[in-house]
Amino acid sequence: MIKEESEEKWLALTRQINELEWLGEDLLSMKRRHEQAVSEIQADCRHLSFALESLLNHMSEDYARKYAEQEANDHLIRQIDRYVDEHLDHVSTYTMGVRRQLERDQEELIGERSRLRWE
């Protein structure tokens, strides 16, 4: 009787352990996709910034707002870069915390599984 109960409990705990591992893998996969998407948006912004800079460079030196527009463009791209860096740092920190919690939960289940009585 104890052996059958332990076997059922062992299977249930193993399933939970595997699910936590899959969650961790899914989390890392989502993190990579998110980082890629944010990097693509950043690249698009840089491309638009470069296009605007190119247009401004073709304008007459007499255009009064040319330098103000160039400064605003440079400032905006610096803000975007800073935001992306900070955002990706926050995502990494959050992901690391979730991974640690998943690992702790997994270790707890492994410990519980190893303490099962078979006799």
Please give the torsion angle defined by the CA atoms of residues 87, 90, 91 and 95, in that order, rounded to the nearest 10 degrees. Answer: 180
Domain spans of the chain? 2-114
pLDDT value at 47 more than 70: yes
pTM of structure: 0.81
Taking the CA atoms of residue 41, residue 42, residue 43 and residue 45 in that order, the dihedral angle to the nearest 10 degrees is: 90
Residue 105 near residue 91 (C-beta atoms within 8 A): no
Report the C-alpha gap between 67 and 63 in whole angstroms. Answer: 8
Give CA–CA dist 116/111, Å, rounded.
Answer: 9
Look at residue 1 and tell me whether its pLDDT is greater than 70: no
At a CB cut-off of 8 Å and minimum separation 6, what does 17 contact? 106, 109, 110, 113
The string of pLDDT tens digits covering residues 2-26 is 888 889 999 999 999 999 999 999 9
The mean predicted confidence, pLDDT, of the chain is: 94
